[in-house]
Amino acid sequence: MNLRQLKLFVALAETGSFSQAAERMTLTQSTVSQHVASMEREVETRLLDRTGKGAVLTAAGDLFLQHARRVLAEHDTLLQAMAGFRGLQRASLLIGASNIPANYLIPQILEHLANTHPGIILNMLAGDSREMLESLTSAEIELAVIGSRLPAKGVAFTSLASDLLFLVVGRGHPWHGREQIVLDDLASESIVLRESGSGSGDALHKALQAAGFDPARLRVAARLGSNEAVRQAVSNGFGCAFLSPLSIRRELAKGELRKIDVEGLTVQRQLWLATLKDRSLSPAAEAFCALLHEASNTLDAALV
């Protein structure tokens, strides 16, 4: 088999359609079928089931897809390595990031990246830490910047900056006029949390346990899928939340949100750079990582 056949298989897996895969690869449907049959003969295993709803991967097809993506990713890395010898005149970098890095750390790098390496085009996927690690291990992205170090085989983690999480409330909340509360107070008020798998949620859970407070006592009013959604809910007077000061500096300055200290509780998490242990970074990724470390060194100073 060849790289074009692997790209075809990935297209089939992503679209679930022979016709759409054929259109993406500028081939006829019959040619697509021939290539799939050729690959199945070579590996002596059925990779796809043809159903009324389209092409569905078999268990063997799922495994084949993982390795196909890795082969294609290594091919891209090879081309980028060659571009590195030409001074990174043109290179595309695909990364992943969880909420806070995606919105407040990586945007700080873009201007510097454009000035120092104008040939690098940055493409970023965003999601929670768990989703980004899954994308990394399946070779969909080259590196991930995340807010939680989760168990992941074959992944190397490099610490970046620390990020504190503050308890905040909006105007009209019963705690708005208070400077401090005690831990037990957290059991009496509605709280808005991020979705399961988020770095901020994991950090809060661990900090509460370390302080001797059972997280199950929290009165969870909602679990929302983004930091922005949580901020908006609390700003509108709905409950309280633990948020990164990087994401609420403007609201704190305007008085739309108020920081409340919790006696005996410090919620701090680490931001991490995640890469694959058995894969060398492309020159574009190495250049990006250097700027990322430089930006993260100033992150602590930016905390409110």
* pLDDT of the residue at 301: 47
How does DSSP assign 205-262, residue by residue?
HHHHHHTT--GGGSEEEEEESSHHHHHHHHHTT--EEEE-GGGTHHHHHHTSEEEEEE
Give residue 44's pLDDT.
94
Topology of domain 163-269 in CATH is D-Maltodextrin-Binding Protein; domain 2 (3.40.190)
Q: Where are the beta strands (DSSP E) in 84-226?
A: 91-97, 120-126, 143-146, 155-170, 180-181, 190-194, 219-224
User: Which positions of the chain have pLDDT values less than 50?
Assistant: 301-304
pLDDT of residue 218: 94
Domain boundaries, the chain: 3-70, 72-160+271-302, 163-269
| Beta-carbon contacts of residue 52 (< 8 Å; ≥ 6 apart) | none
Architecture of domain 72-160+271-302: 3-Layer(aba) Sandwich (3.40)
Nearest to 260 by CA among 142, 171, 204, 181: 181
Q: Is-above-0.85 flag for pTM?
A: no
Is the CB of residue 161 less than 8 Å from the CB of residue 109?
Answer: no
Asked if domains 72-160+271-302 and 163-269 share a fold, the reply is yes
Residues 166 and 234: beta-carbon distance below 8 Å: no
Q: Fold for 3-70, please state it.
A: Arc Repressor Mutant, subunit A (1.10.10)
pLDDT at 88: 63
Sign of CA dihedral 14, 19, 24, 28: positive
Residue 48 DSSP symbol: E
- C-alpha 230/C-alpha 225 separation (Å) is 8
Retrieve residue 152's tokens: 């992941």
